[in-house]
Amino acid sequence: MLDPNTIAKEAIEEAEKAESSRALYEVKMKYLGRGGTVTSLLKNMREVPPEERPAFGKAVNFLRDTLEAHFASLEEKLKEKETLQKLAEERIDVTLPGKKRDMGAIHPVTRVKNELVDLFMGLGFEVFDGPEIESEYYNFTALNTPADHPARDMQDTFYITNEFLLRTQTSAGQIRVMESKKPPIKIVSPGRTFRSDDDATHSPMFHQMEGLVVDKGITLCDLYGTLEEFARTMFSPSVKTRLRPSYFPFTEPSVEVDISCFACGGKGCSLCKGTGWIEVLGAGMVNRRVLENCGIDPDEYTGFAFGIGLERIAMLKYGVNNIKLFTENDVRFLKQFRD
């Protein structure tokens, strides 16, 4: 049987060598744990002669209490040391420069679209979203452009099948709206359009925003007033608007809309090619045949429509000279549109 004093000495020596609270815990378990040295002393009490038992019991209890107190004070010191160590390791240098995160910017075409939607919603228009894959009927036939119509050549179409194509114009949405809704109608319809066309100002995928108003007594004056508001808001309050006769199968009369050059004030410069005017969009009074195709009586209702090329507006507004810049995703270009 081991002598309690020897055990005490050994246990204390071992405990003092422990360099972490974890190691100390192991020493503690070795002596005071369930199968530990001190605990087994008490368990083996039977081996002690009966007359020595009280003294032995007292000595072992004293040993246990002493060790417990000693371990506790060592543990406290180790824990404190460990906390300080942890704090030192986790120290943050708040003077280090932060990580720079680059902010994105709204794409200029999206920006133009948002501005236009805001403007037209303010004038009481609703937004209609038409499909990008259209049938020939909606994209052409119902818009008074039958199969043999020369105006079909104005737009180089991507056909998917004989019947389906990628819409060449958001005008297709006009028909969908008029088929499903009775006048008064007042919508704009922004979206992607597609044509087999590719140069500095044309891209196979581009964006348009269609406008359509149908009601009793709508005249060309209403169109003019709406477009003046558009030109003033998008370009400058001093910009003038003029309508020039043109041709589109779905409008009669049809007009081309020019604005006075906002760069030179109309004197003539490189932007307006010396004319003082810049062509911005096509428009007109909805052709009676188009109204008829949608079951709207052209003797009761009239309407106007317009189609805005969003890239064209963005190029003019931001002085972009090549349409490809919009789809190249060069961050140096896009960054210039940050707020």
Phi/psi of residue 257, nearest 5 degrees: -105, 125
Report the residue number, 191 or 282, with the smaller CB distance to ligand DAH: 282
Binding flag, residue 206, ligand DAH (CB under 6 A) = no
Q: What is d(CA 62, CA 56) in angstroms, rounded to the nearest whole number?
A: 10
The two beta strands, 302-309 and 277-286, are: antiparallel
Asked whether position 282 contacts ligand DAH by CB under 6 A, the answer is: yes
283 scored as a contact of ligand DAH (CB under 6 A) = yes
Decide if residue 307 touches ligand DAH (CB under 6 A). Answer: yes
Inter-residue contact 46 to 56 (CB < 8 Å): no
CB closer to ligand DAH out of 106 and 243? 243
- CB–CB of 167/131 below 8 Å? yes
From 24, 63, 206, 210, residue interacting with ligand DAH (rule: CB under 6 A): 210
Sole binder of ligand DAH in the list 305, 315, 320, 325 (CB under 6 A): 305
Scanning 17-25, 71-79, 102-110, 280-288 for contacts with ligand DAH by CB under 6 A, the matching segment is 280-288
Q: Which of 169, 189, 203, 260 binds ligand DAH (CB under 6 A)?
A: 169
By CB under 6 A, residue 145 contacts ligand DAH: no
The CB-of-318 to ligand DAH minimum distance in angstroms stands at 22
Which part of the chain contacts ligand DAH (CB under 6 A), choosing from 40-48, 260-268, 282-290, 325-333? 282-290
What is each CA distance from 279 to 35, 83, 93, 271, in whole angstroms? Answer: 96, 74, 59, 11
d(CA 36, CA 54): 21
The correct pick among 173, 190, 284, 303 for binding ligand DAH (CB under 6 A) is: 284
CB 101 to ligand DAH: min, Å: 40
Residue type, 33: G
Cβ proximity to ligand DAH: between 213 and 325 the closer is 213
DSSP assigned state of 97:
P
The DSSP code for 153 is G
**108-122 vs 310-318: helix axis angle to the nearest 10?**
110
Nearer to ligand DAH, 305 or 310 (CB): 305
Shortest spacing between CB 304 and ligand DAH, in angstroms: 7
- CA dist 323 and 198 (Å) reads 9
Query: Which pair of structure tokens corresponds to residue 57?
Result: 């019991």
Shorter beta-carbon distance to ligand DAH: residue 144 or 171: 171
Among 251, 260, 293, 302, binds ligand DAH (CB under 6 A): 251
Can residue 191 be called a binding residue for ligand DAH (CB under 6 A)? no
The type of residue at 98 is G
Beta-strand (E) ranges in 110-170?
Answer: 126-127, 133-135, 164-166
The helix (H) or strand (E) run that includes residue 47 is: none
Nearer to ligand DAH, 171 or 260 (CB): 171
Nearer to ligand DAH, 4 or 145 (CB): 145
Under 8 Å between Cβ of 189 and 209:
yes
Contacts of 59 (CB under 8 A, 6+ apart): 4
Give Cβ neighbours of residue 173 (< 8 Å, ≥ 6 apart): 128, 129, 130, 138, 187, 189, 191, 210, 212
Nearer to ligand DAH, 144 or 260 (CB): 144
Is 75 or 256 the residue whose CB approaches ligand DAH more closely?
256
Stretch of 37-45, 91-99, 123-131, 300-308 lying at the interface with ligand DAH (CB under 6 A) = 300-308
List residues near ligand DAH by CB under 6 A. 169, 171, 210, 248, 251, 282-284, 305-307
